[in-house]
Structure formats: C-alpha cells, structure tokens
Amino acid sequence: MDEQMNIPEFTDADKRDAIFHDFKVKAEIVGKLKRMEEGAYGDQYIIDTPDGDITIGTYDVLKGKIHKEDIGKWIKIVFKGDTKSPKTGRMYKDFDVFIK
C-alpha cells in the first residue's frame, strides 16, 4: 500500500460485476430508466426497480425503442420471445417497450 496516497488493497470481495437481467427467468421489468451506457456490444440500460438497479444488455430491437431523452422516465420492458426475422430468417429477441 502506498502510504502517501492511502490506497487500500483490493480483494475479490471488493469486486463488482454487472448483473444482466435474464428475461427467460422474469419476462417483465418495470422501473425508472436511470441511464444508458455504452457496453462492449452497444447500449446497455440501467433501470431503477424496487429490487435495485437492473442492467439490460444490448438488444438491437431495444435500440430503436429506447432513447436518451427517456432517461428519468418510467419504463416497462416485456420480453415477447424469440422471433424470426422475415427479411433475414435469423432469430432475435423481441420486446414490447412502454414509456411514461
């Protein structure tokens, strides 16, 4: 430890990891959109819920439905399931998004 700066030593007990919400366990999230952050693969959404902050990972379909001006508003995200794109034939996760 550097005594001049009083830098503490860190252990694994001090480590924090982002906990991403699993929509297969709970299909609906309701809370206030706190912020949007740039993740490794695109936007991530941090939502303040009664159970604490929840991080929603990057999904292209959410990118078109949630915008920076929605920060501070109530949001409800409902997982509709895996859907096949008629254009590409690829499967993607689809969501309904409600904002107040």
- By the 10 Å C-beta count (0-12 exposed, 13-18 middle, 19+ buried), 12 is classed as exposed
User: What is the dihedral sign for C-alpha 91, 20, 35, 10?
Assistant: negative
Q: Is residue 62 a part of any domain in this protein?
A: yes
Q: In angstroms, rounded to a whole number, what is the distance separating the alpha carbons of residues 47 and 93? A: 19
Residue 72, SS3 per DSSP = coil
Size (the chain), residues: 100
Q: pLDDT digits over 37-46, tens only?
A: 988 778 899 9
Place of tokens 């991403």: 20
Alpha-carbon span 61 to 93, nearest angstrom:
8
Residue numbers of the domain that contains 48:
17-99
Q: Is residue 31 part of a domain?
A: yes
Segment 79-97, tens digit of pLDDT: 999 999 999 999 999 999 9
Is residue 82 included in any domain, yes or no? yes
Supply the CATH number for residue 74's domain.
2.40.50
Provide the domain count of the chain. 1
